[in-house]
Amino acid sequence: MKEKKSERSVIGIFDSGVGGLSVWRELFKELPFSDFIYLSDNAFCPYGSRKQQEIVDRVIKAVDFLIKKDVSVIVIACNTATAAAIETLRKNYTIPFIGMEPAVKPAAIHSATGVIGVLATQATFKGKLYNNTLEHFASDVKVIQQAGAGLVEAVEHDLTDSPQTAELLKNYIMPMVEAGADHIVLGCTHFPFLADQIRIVAGNGITIVDPAPAVARHTRNVMAEKGLLQDKLFSTEGRTLFFSTGETAMLQKIALSIKPGIPREDFIRIII
């Protein structure tokens, strides 16, 4: 770790696609002097309907790529990849991993109606992580679970404002509203990019819970623990390089909407 002090430490961020950008936007706010490498596995997105082993194989390829780029910490900014692979990763690598998990706990704690909705992918709902979280933190509330089929694709293909997406959201969110949910947990990192559209269906009385700010704070704590925080070492803002196994157009569009001015050459297509 010591030799890292002389250079900036880099944080790796991984998602099946553009969804992890909802975590990146919180990470660079929390860690403004850190550099980031964002990797989107766009060519294999969506993960949500894939078999667990297939997801694990892709995640291992992604992690190996990020490690070759000399990252110090890896944020698996994908609930589905976390659910499928985080145990395997922690068993096989020494680098610290920060994963995503649906924010069921804060929603359950703060719910006044005792009903919460969770929107995630099928693979996340099947995972041990989600089911353990339910068991430990949501035994006193009613949980309305909904797999958001088609929503990851809507974000990836710039269809967040299309009538088809509005129809999907109506079908997914209305049953939660009708059941009395006062919190909707976004259990997929793509879904914060649909927050405005979800709000239209859910109305203003429902709290939409995005776990990304908590994940960014946790990442900062992990960095501090490992002696990798750079606030005092560097006074210039960090840089992010974006890699994608497929198209980079949506990655550029969303990243630039979050942080204008990123040069075109910082978006790089790769094969892994």
Residues marked as catalytic: 78, 188
Which tokens go with 3?
Answer: 């030799």
Q: Closer CB to ligand DGL, residue 150 or residue 180? A: 150
Q: Which stretch binds ligand DGL (CB under 6 A): 88-96, 171-179, 183-191, 223-231?
A: 183-191
- Check whether the bond before 46 is cis (ω within 30° of 0): yes
Residue 208 touching ligand DGL (CB under 6 A): no
The strand pairing partners of 187, in sequence order, are 120
Task: With beta carbons less than 8 A apart as the criterion, state whether 104 and 132 touch.
Answer: no
User: From the CB of 220, what's the least distance to ligand DGL, in Å?
Assistant: 21
Residue 79 touching ligand DGL (CB under 6 A): yes
Which tokens go with 213?
Answer: 């700010």
Q: Closer CB to ligand DGL, residue 115 or residue 246? A: 246
Residue 21 touching ligand DGL (CB under 6 A): no
User: From the CB of 39, what's the least distance to ligand DGL, in Å?
Assistant: 13
What letter would DSSP give residue 127?
S
What is the x/- site pattern for ligand DGL, positions 134-173, by CB under 6 A? ------------------x---------------------
Nearest-angstrom CA–CA distance, 164 and 24: 28
* Three-class secondary structure assignment of 62-79: HHHHHHHCCEEEEEECCH
What is the residue whose two structure tokens read 């974006």?
242
Half-sphere CA count of 268, side-chain side, radius 13 A? 12
What is the x/- site pattern for ligand DGL, positions 26-55, by CB under 6 A? -------------------xxxx-------
What is the residue whose two structure tokens read 């068993």?
91
Query: Interface with ligand DGL by CB under 6 A: which residues?
Result: 15-17, 19, 45-48, 78-80, 100, 121, 124, 152, 188-190
